Amino acid sequence: MKFTKMHGLGNDFILIDLPESPQLEAWEETAIQMCDRHFGIGADGLVLLFPVDDADFGMRILNRDGSVTEQCGNAIRCAGRYYYEKNSSAKQTLVIQTRIGNQTVSLTEDEVCVNMGEPILQGLEIPVDLDLERVVKQSIDVNGERFWFTAVSMGNPHIVIEVEDAATFPIEIWGPLLETHALFPNRANIEFITVRSATDIQMRVWERGVGQTLACGSGACAVLVASVLNGQTETKAQIELLGGELTIEWNQENQQVYMTGPATFVFEGEWVSS
């Protein structure tokens, strides 16, 4: 089985071309094996690409633990770049079918811009176990500590927490405790941020089903939306992650969130299952 390894700001994926839409349950164990960094190829997730009728192609994503995720900004940038480079007839603007619907991707020589859609802000739809129109500056208690969070869904749930210094915050302690908190029925991605100016945010992320990663595209989108809701930033800002920077814009006219950043090839190979 041939594969391609790619990354978006260090958030890395294994991409596989399939002749038809996959049965995701059958890929759970394969995803775990392939993504293992010691006994497999090593990646944060497995991306399956396949032909569809209503878009240029379809994609589905499995996390490193074998669970299926609805959305991943870095993965869709990688998928767009992969398809464009591998298909001589590909257009610079592509439509990709995902679990949350069709998404538009525009490619330049150096970067990929993705329309990530309109953020979901209602508590029960994110989902967060709070029946609120907007989940902004809500408190949560974990192991005797209280945090204040804003919740946003970009097709997948994100919990944004401002801390004094995101660079040194012990994410490995609090990330897993917050991910699995009872307030989040589908678990959640947890973003710890420090707002440095109206156009500059530092972010670290604990991803649901993966752990700490170097970048999270949908998380960066959620961070920008949360920061705007809290009156801290403009509607366009640079999000600094461990793996590099993304430019995020929340267009106030159409309410769509746009993410721009790189997608990089690493290597190709053939997987021989044991």
pLDDT tens sequence across 201-247: 999 999 999 999 999 999 999 999 999 999 999 999 999 999 999 99
Q: State the DSSP H helix or E strand holding residue 57, giving kind and residue range, or none if neither.
A: strand 57-63
pLDDT reported for residue 89:
77
Catalytic residue among 35, 78, 216, 221: 216
Question: Catalytic: 72?
Answer: yes
Instruction: Look up residue 176 and give its amino acid.
Output: P
Any known ligand binding at 77?
A: no
DSSP string computed for 147-158: EEEEEEESSSEE
pLDDT reported for residue 163:
97
CA distances from 17 to 82, 104, 122, 274 (A): 10, 20, 36, 20
* Residue 70: partners with Cβ closer than 8 Å, 6 or more residues away: 98, 99, 100, 155, 156
Catalytic residue among 35, 72, 78, 221: 72
The answer to whether residues 266 and 6 touch, using CB atoms and an 8 Å cutoff, is yes
Nearest-angstrom CA–CA distance, 95 and 108: 15
Whole-model pTM: value is 0.93
